[in-house]
Structure 1
């Protein structure tokens, strides 16, 4: 059988035919010869996805099967597919295969590449991984943690330190507090070429070091849908906890609240202390965090949740209102991930926005500048708008 479109030239027709053949699999009645590489792609997919009784093509599921030479299969997937596709296929394979056996295979550990999906799967299954495989599971989690820490630490430290420095600047510094480099740059327009001097019309300085560190509390929903957000939040919490100008705390919750602040120095242990899945009681979590606040005007409380509340919704909004009116900067993120627009409770998100805490999703790359904006108490609605992050207003999203 040939799929044709009279409006497309032959090359496009052939490519369209080829793609349908690869999507539908070997059972497709399409007269399409495959190249050597496409044949290999087709074989790799046949080993994982097989026709189901109720669904045609590659979309039936056969759980519990084992791939032949699994380590080589994972290596080929990484070599032949783009990164985004390979990650999806790898995650599908791990859900369908005997992960316990794979985790005890040294060749598999060398072939697989840890990513957010893999680590989320491991964390969700951690209570079911046999003892002899747990060390290897930790090694995979550690690889991703080190990769993410290395990637995000420089940007986070630069953005946050810059924000703290700007927040402490004074335009009426004492002589010992004058920042001469900044003062010269600020007053270059007052250069007098004849006298060869600059008149410092405006002094720029850094105020006295703050005796009390600014407080940052990350309050993170650990329900199953928030897996990526939990992992990224934990990484950023570990990064900024090493900055002496900040007092960082990490609180995760489902129907119960767990304070992981004491584990921030060991992100791997911290991640294994997270229990993904379960219900959601955001009101209880916010009430707990409210009790941690020591100096509201110097506190940033970052709530990361899709706002699907199983607890008392009215208590949730009352708690948020108390926190905001008390002077704490409440930042509401519906997700911290690369997945785009999240599914969230738009009604409650709109109410948070109305209270003065604009609710929007944020990518990991934008989290450092977001933290800088929060520390400087800038308008977060404007921040979201400038970065094309839709703010949920309840009825519609605005950019």
Structure 2
């Protein structure tokens, strides 16, 4: 554990050397240099010149290439911290090397944060890089979809049935309690452990999935990661039998992208991030897409900060509830499941029959499976 002096030195940077210098370990000195390479730009913006005659071996911005820094930062910091540094390098400081050098893009870790950055800077990169950026974006999408597909398909394939045993020995169907009960006579008292000679697995009930899922997704800048996961989940759900998916994007205007769900990359590249938010207008449009209310799920993906008056939105939600449409309000759909949203509006929507939560894509799939029993 670091001493308070070391922690303060890392937070304050090289300009605290005179007061706190000499307290960092070799590894922390490398971390300090990597952080200085990126965040020293804050000092430069304020007209503060780099300190002269500082510690030897310092890696000032003029001495380190972006690719060198990228590899160093990846080795020095945990994944979550590295993703933040990577995002700041491109979004906050717009490092030219990261936008122009194909080798740098190839070395970036595929992640939703990287895909968000690619979408944000698709028009800023050198024209000769457009094809390369598209290739990398497709690779990121493929990686995320491969991770999600098996979990979503398993969740939607049927509820586990504890009363019926299955010959299919899949780990997802393993029944731990029933296995313990079936092997009580093999308890080893000396070693204090159960020797399981018989493993018990649950079967899955098949379900007729004649449902329509209407995804109504906020495309404002703060919802970018949720938009990404919504598009990928829509593509996966579209491939399941008996499920019809419709997708509507909105800010103050409305874009029906139902015909683009088979190509998430094209869909995401067509999005114009930012703008205001008129949730009521979008939900009113989605009302017109409902054909069988009792077999329809409306999933509103938004932070619920309504730019227009709330009357139209609340009236639409009340009508959909009366028609027995299953309504889910998703304040965030990303890997963290954390969200900053208008809690007052969320409470009003919940009072009118909408279930509201922030969640990960896997939990959203489980939620859909529960409501579509």
Residues 224-373 of structure 1 mapped to structure 2, 5 A cutoff: 224-373=221-370
Provide the C-alpha distance between the structure 2 equivalents of 1:98 and 1:345, rounded to a whole number of angstroms.
31
The more displaced of 324-333 and 357-366 is 357-366
Tell me which residue corresponds to 2:78: 82
> Partner of 1:169 in structure 2?
none
Contact 1:221 1:253 in 2 (8 A): yes
CA 1:94–1:272 in structure 2 vs 1: closer, same or farther (change >3 Å)?
Answer: same
Aligned length: 321
Q: Is the 8 A contact 2:336 2:359 kept in 1?
A: no
Distance 2:96 2:211 in 1: 44
2-structure distance, mates of 1:81, 1:358: 38
Q: Quickly say closer, same or farther: Cα 1:262–1:350, change in 2 above 3 A.
A: same
Check 1:31–1:181 CA distance in 2 against 1; reply closer, same or farther (3 A cut). Answer: closer
Q: How does 1:1-399 map to 2 (within 5 A)?
A: 15-28=3-16, 29-50=19-40, 52=43, 68-98=64-94, 101-163=97-159, 213-376=210-373
RMSD of aligned Cα (Å): 2.9
What is the rounded CA distance, in whole Å, between the counterparts of 1:363 and 1:242 in structure 2?
A: 20
Structure 2: segments with no counterpart, 5+ residues = 51-60, 168-203
Relative to structure 1, is the Cα distance of residues 225 and 55 closer, same or farther in structure 2, using a 3 angstrom cutoff?
Answer: farther
1:115-160 Cα distance to aligned partner (Å, 9 max, x none) = 2222212212333334322222212221221111111111100111
Other structure's SS at 2:15 match: coil
Q: In structure 1, what is the Cα distance between the partners aligned to 2:297 and 2:368?
A: 9
TM-score between both structures, scaled by the size of structure 2: 0.78
Instruction: With the length of structure 1 as denominator, give the TM-score of the two structures.
Output: 0.74
Return structure 1 stretches of 4+ with deviation > 6 angstroms.
53-56, 179-182, 204-207
Deviation at 1:263, TM superposition (A): 1.3
| SS of equivalent to 1:128 | coil
Tell me how far apart the structure 2 counterparts of residues 233 and 225 of structure 1 sit (CA, whole Å). Answer: 14
In the TM superposition, residue 323 of structure 1 has moved relative to its aligned partner by 1.1
- What are the Cα deviations for residues 310-364 of structure 1, in whole angstroms up to 9, with x where unaligned? 1231000001111111121111111112445422122211111111112221122
Q: Does the C-alpha gap of structure 1 residues 236 and 270 become closer, same or farther in structure 2, counting only changes over 3 Å? A: same
Do the aligned partners of residues 270 and 313 (structure 1) sit closer, same or farther apart at CA in structure 2, a change above 3 Å counting?
same
Partner deviation per Cα, 1:15-59 (whole Å, 9 max, x = no partner): 222222111111112044323222221111111111537799x9x
TM-aligned CA distance change 1:42 to 1:244, over 3 Å: same
Extract unaligned runs of 5+ from structure 1.
1-11, 59-64, 167-178, 183-203, 377-399
Structure 1 contact 238–265 (Cα < 8 Å) conserved: yes
